């Protein structure tokens, strides 16, 4: 019995010791965790205090009351890079170019990104243009006719100097990650919500959009600035992305006023059914929110026009064009976000005729945002194509040939560049030559020949597979219908060796087209690709080219020669390829992105303009290249003799 009691006491002692240890451990754990929570709360409070100090627009999360606009100039504004670099630069099913399901009021990523400027050097104008800014107009002109400043290349486009050449146009870069495959595993849902939801606050109580321009007196203006809308929060408040677009638009408005122009701001965005209209602090539409922000920038309401009807970017572009045609406005600035520039270019360039100058500017967003929207932007190209079709821009009788739904958008991009060249600095001499590689049914050849009647258009087509067997016949028929007499159809097999022969003979085309055919020239290695591309670009003063989308192909994308494309690119995008080419061959060369289109294999290809000037070591200011005769070109291409078997 005594032995049993002693054994039982030991068990009780062990239990008591265990309970004491467990109690001490629990007490220590809760104490440590409490300290961590307090530290996190202190850090969050410090971060909120810093944001409130730096940006008076941020919503006070503790109270659901917004801050009033105190001083718009104190907000962080878009700033252009001091040194432009070479690079690339896109409408959706709605005028909101992005949609996120979960939007909450949390902090936004504020990481800086650089906006890279595309080059389009004036190789052909030897004179240096300058303009003394006129006195800043203090009032919008009333009933007097508008007085447009004398246009020069330096005033019609923002001046951006690089080396010894003058830029004439400006675009925005999207790097290869922006158009690549989106991997949602890189960020959790909280990261996604956090980087988008930087709420700002505005006081709409004094908003009176009835003071805005009703569109009846737009003939007093000579430049339009379209600000593309972006979705509001559920309570109707504008986001940081929308505010950044408005800030950029206000900056361009003020710059144009300083130059002596009379700009009109065009805002679009319908009211949303889900808005709580009984909340007096909420804006009824994106356009209303932008209007209030612009007025806070001290922009007169009469210089702002609201388009409440457009439900997507294509309708916005159509409505804007109608205003332009009615009031004879010839220049448009499109303001959006950097990741949305490519689709904006696609839509507005398609809708607007080439005699109206259209420029695109993107407010910078963080690298996280650009990466997040890359996959969605690619999908939305399909919706953009659908929206353009619905307003009748792609289903015209003028489209024919290879994938006609893509022909008008590409031609508008190209034609606008040529129109600008002819209007400002370039003369096409009689006897000049143009070339279209892979002309198919001749859509681009015929339009370019019609545009430049003093030059001879060489159309090279040797495709003999069943799908395109009648392409040459259709081309010849269209040539007669359009009464085109300066288009020579050369039936031949195009091989990359021809580019080297033309380079050795120092031949030069004024313009050459190489649209979605370069990947058919048989290059296998990176070195061979670069050599052929160099030779090809040296054959013309200006080349319009499409290359495969920069991505890592795995064989399921339907891309011809996809294994070789991976070797050609070696992880580079188009801009990096051109930069490497320029350095490797010491070329006088510039390039810019005109826009992009989605193809049947769901890849997005950019239309790129490349300008190259030949060099003579003995006469560095002269271009030694001269056009060969038509007879020499026919012999070099073996016209009518070399065809696919």
Cα separation values, 234 from 103, 237, 536, Å? 8, 7, 53
DSSP letter for each residue of 280-346: TTS-SBHHHHHHHHHHHTT--GGGEEEE-S--SHHHHHHHHHHHHHHHT--EEEEEEEGGGHHHHHH
Question: Going by DSSP bridges, is the β-strand pair 487-491/540-546 parallel, antiparallel, or unpaired?
Answer: unpaired
Mean per-residue pLDDT, 537-542: 97
> Over the range 444-460, which residues count as b (16 or more CB within 10 Å of their CB) and which as e?
bbbbbbebbeebbbbbb
The pLDDT value recorded for residue 403 is 76
- Residue 136: inside a domain, yes or no? no
User: Does residue 378 share a domain with residue 430?
Assistant: no
- CA 476, 478, 484, 489 torsion: positive or negative? negative
Mean pLDDT score of the chain, rounded to an integer? 73
Helices vs. strands in the chain: H and E counts, helices first: 16, 14
Residue-level pLDDT at 117: 32
Q: pLDDT for 256-276, tens place per residue?
A: 999 999 999 999 876 555 444
Judged against a pLDDT cut of 50, whether residue 61 lies above it is answered with no
* Residue 344 sits in the same domain as residue 215: yes
Listed in sequence order, the residues at least 6 apart from 15 whose beta carbon sits closer than 8 Å to its beta carbon are none
Q: Answer whether residue 141 is part of any domain.
A: no
* Cα–chain center distance at 265: 20
Let me know if residue 401 belongs to a domain.
no
Residues 239 and 371 in one domain: yes
Does residue 137 lie in a domain region?
no
Please give the DSSP secondary-structure letter assigned to residue 83: S
Q: Based on the fold, state whether residues 252 and 338 are members of the same structural domain.
A: yes
Q: Which domain holds residue 329?
A: 83-121+158-390
Tell how strand 331-337 and strand 357-363 pair up. parallel
Do 334 and 421 lie in one domain? The reply is no
What SS3 class is residue 121? strand
CA quadruple 317, 323, 326, 331: dihedral positive or negative?
negative
Taking only the tens place, the pLDDT of each residue in 91-138 is 333 333 333 333 333 233 333 333 333 444 444 443 333 333 333 333
pLDDT value at 462 more than 70: yes
Return d(Cα 591, Cα 162) in angstroms, integer: 13
CA distance 140 to 18: 85
Q: Do residues 237 and 375 both lie within one domain?
A: yes
- Residue 52 covered by a domain: no
Q: Are residue 315 and residue 361 in the same domain, yes or no?
A: yes
Q: Assess whether 594 and 512 both reside in one domain.
A: yes
Among the ranges 192-201, 364-373, 634-643, which has the highest mean pLDDT value? Answer: 364-373
Which of 390, 416, 432 is where one domain is finished? 390
Looking up tokens 């050849």, which residue turns up? Answer: 445
- The residue out of 346, 361, 390 marking a domain boundary is 390
We report the CATH number of the domain holding residue 538 as 3.40.50.150
- Does residue 384 sit within a domain? yes
Rounded to whole angstroms, the Cα distance separating 297 from 299 reads 5
**Which of 228-242, 349-363, 602-616 ranks highest by mean pLDDT?**
349-363
CB contact set of 314 (below 8 Å; sequence gap of 6+): 91, 347, 351, 384, 387, 388, 390, 391, 393
- Give the Cα separation of 572 and 628 in Å (integer): 35
CATH number at residue 233: 3.40.50.620
Last residue of some domain: 342, 362, 390?
Answer: 390
Task: Based on the fold, state whether residues 348 and 489 are members of the same structural domain.
Answer: no
- The CA distances from residue 127 to 154, 594, 615, 621, in Å, are 11, 26, 19, 13
72 domain residue, yes or no? no
Residues 422 and 458 in one domain: yes
- In terms of domains, do 416 and 360 share one? no
* Residues 6+ away with beta carbon under 8 Å from 40: none
Contact (Cβ atoms closer than 8 angstroms) between residue 448 and residue 513: yes
The pLDDT of residue 194: 42
Letter string b/e over residues 213-248, b meaning 16 or more CB atoms within 10 A of that residue's CB: bebebbebbbbbbbbbbbbbbebbbbbbbbbbbbbb
- Overall number of domains in the chain: 2
- Interval 397-443: pLDDT, tens: 667 767 788 899 999 999 999 999 999 989 998 889 999 999 988 99
Structure tokens at 27: 């007490």
User: What is residue 553's predicted lDDT score, i.e. its pLDDT?
Assistant: 81
Examine the domain organization and report whether 491 and 615 are in the same domain: yes
Q: Is residue 601 part of a domain?
A: yes
């Amino acid at each position: 019995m005594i032995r049993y009691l002693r054994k039982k006491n030991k068990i009780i002692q062990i239990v008591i010791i265990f309970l004491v240890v467990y109690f001490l451990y629990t007490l220590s754990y809760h104490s440590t965790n409490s300290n961590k929570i307090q530290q996190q709360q202190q850090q969050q409070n410090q971060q909120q205090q810093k944001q409130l100090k730096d940006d008076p627009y941020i919503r006070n999360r503790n109270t659901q009351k917004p801050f009033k606009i105190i001083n718009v100039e104190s907000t962080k504004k878009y700033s252009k890079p001091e040194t432009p670099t070479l690079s690339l630069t896109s409408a959706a099913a709605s005028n909101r170019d992005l949609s996120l399901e979960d939007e909450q009021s949390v902090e936004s990523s504020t990481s800086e990104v650089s906006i890279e400027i595309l080059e389009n050097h004036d190789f052909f104008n030897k004179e240096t243009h300058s303009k003394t800014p006129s006195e800043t107009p203090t009032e919008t002109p009333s009933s007097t006719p508008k007085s447009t400043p004398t246009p020069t290349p330096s005033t019609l486009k923002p001046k951006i100097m690089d080396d010894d050449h003058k830029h004439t146009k400006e675009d925005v870069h999207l790097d290869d990650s922006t158009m690549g495959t989106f991997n949602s595993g890189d960020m959790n849902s909280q990261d996604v919500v956090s980087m988008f939801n930087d709420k700002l606050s505005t006081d709409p109580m004094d908003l009176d959009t009835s003071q805005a321009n009703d569109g009846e007196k737009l003939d007093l203006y000579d430049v339009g600035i379209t600000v593309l809308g972006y979705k509001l929060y559920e309570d109707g408040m504008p986001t940081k992305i929308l505010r950044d677009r408005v800030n950029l638009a206000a900056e361009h408005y003020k710059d144009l006023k300083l130059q002596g122009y009379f700009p009109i701001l065009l805002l679009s965005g319908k009211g949303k059914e889900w808005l709580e209209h009984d909340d007096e602090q909420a804006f009824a539409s994106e356009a209303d929110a932008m209007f209030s922000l612009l007025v806070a920038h001290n922009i007169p309401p009469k210089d702002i026009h609201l388009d409440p009807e457009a439900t997507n970017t294509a309708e916005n572009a159509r409505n804007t064009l109608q205003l332009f045609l009615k009031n004879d406005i010839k220049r448009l600035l499109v303001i959006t976000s950097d990741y949305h520039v490519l689709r904006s270019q696609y839509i507005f360039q398609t809708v607007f005729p080439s005699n109206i100058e259209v420029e695109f500017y993107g407010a910078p967003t963080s690298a996280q945002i650009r990466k997040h929207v890359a996959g969605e932007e690619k999908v939305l190209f399909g919706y953009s194509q659908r929206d353009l079709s619905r307003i009748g821009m792609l289903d015209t009788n003028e489209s024919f040939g290879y994938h006609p739904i893509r022909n008008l958008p590409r031609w508008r991009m190209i034609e606008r560049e040529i129109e600008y060249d002819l209007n400002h600095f370039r003369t096409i001499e009689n006897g000049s030559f143009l070339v279209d590689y892979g002309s198919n049914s001749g859509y681009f050849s015929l339009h370019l020949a019609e545009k430049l009647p003093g030059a001879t258009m060489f159309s090279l087509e040797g495709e003999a597979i069943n799908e395109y067997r009648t392409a040459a016949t259709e081309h010849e028929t269209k040539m007669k219908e359009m009464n085109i007499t300066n288009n020579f159809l050369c039936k031949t097999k195009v091989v990359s060796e021809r580019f080297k022969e033309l380079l050795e003979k120092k031949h030069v085309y004024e313009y050459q087209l190489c649209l979605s055919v370069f990947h058919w020239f048989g290059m296998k290695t990176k070195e061979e690709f670069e050599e052929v591309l160099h030779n090809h670009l040296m054959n013309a003063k200006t080349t319009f080219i499409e290359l495969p989308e920069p991505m890592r192909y795995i064989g399921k994308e339907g891309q011809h020669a996809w294994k070789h494309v991976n070797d050609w690119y070696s992880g580079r995008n188009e801009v990096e390829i051109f930069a490497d080419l320029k350095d490797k061959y010491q070329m006088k060369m510039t390039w810019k992105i005109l826009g992009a289109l989605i193809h049947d294999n769901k890849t997005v290809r950019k239309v790129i303009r490349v300008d190259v000037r030949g060099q003579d070591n003995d006469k560095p200011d002269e271009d030694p290249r001269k056009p060969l005769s038509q007879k020499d070109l026919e012999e070099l291409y073996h016209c009518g003799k070399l065809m696919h078997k």
